[in-house]
Amino acid sequence: MRSLAGKLAPDFDATAVVNGHEIVHGFSLSQYRGNKYVVFFFYPMDFTFVCPTELHAFQEKLAEFEKRNVAVVGCSVDSEYSHFSWLQMPKKEGGIQGVKYPIVSDFSKEISENYGVLAGDYTLDENGRIRYEGTPVAFRGLFLIDKEGIVRHIVINDLPFGRNVDEVLRMVDALQHFEENGEVCPANWSKGKEALKATEEGVSNYLSHH
């Protein structure tokens, strides 16, 4: 699979549900280019078990993302009507009521395919019939996209494993620290910790003190 790291994030024109109840046609990531960072994440399917924990976790930290000028956008292969119905279901019943960030419908699976997260492939059998091998949903892919539309961080989890939203915030902080200070971030770096000057001298100075 070709990695998108360092490349322009594939754009799309799709339908999304925003603010928990508005169905919007012609939704695309290009609307944020030049203005906002984007955390674009995929989850396998509506009305499941692990997925609502992730969607609520992103909502709970949404103010932290917005403080960093980051738009959070979710996506799955379900229709916009499935998204809408799930958004009306209370959390205690397994729903995602209260989620306000956009949730994109990738009903055609084209977006998942372009981002390399579709959990399977279409093939032809010996009789020329199209078959799907794998699970026709998206892996738990996450893409941190800078304001120029470039993918700067990727993580892809298999279906059973939820993500750590605090780690996503840490990566946003690392990207913004690098952009603002020209310093690179070593292992286990977090906001407020010492980073490295992106020179041989800076690396040597860091190593000599640690």
Q: Is 185 a catalytic residue?
A: no
User: What would the pLDDT profile of 67-87 be if each residue is shown by its tens digit?
Assistant: 999 999 999 999 999 999 999
What structural domains does the chain harbor?
14-162 (3.40.30.10), 164-210 (no CATH)
Cα–Cα distance, 47 to 110 (Å, whole number): 21
The active-site residue out of 51, 77, 99, 185 is 51
Return d(Cα 133, Cα 89) in angstroms, integer: 32
Query: Would the pTM of this model clear 0.85, i.e. be above it?
Result: yes
What letters, b where the CB count within 10 A reaches 16 and e where it falls short, cover 151-182? bbbeebbebeeebebeebbbbbbbbbbeeeee
pLDDT per position as a tens digit, 105-139:
999 999 999 999 999 988 898 888 989 899 999 99
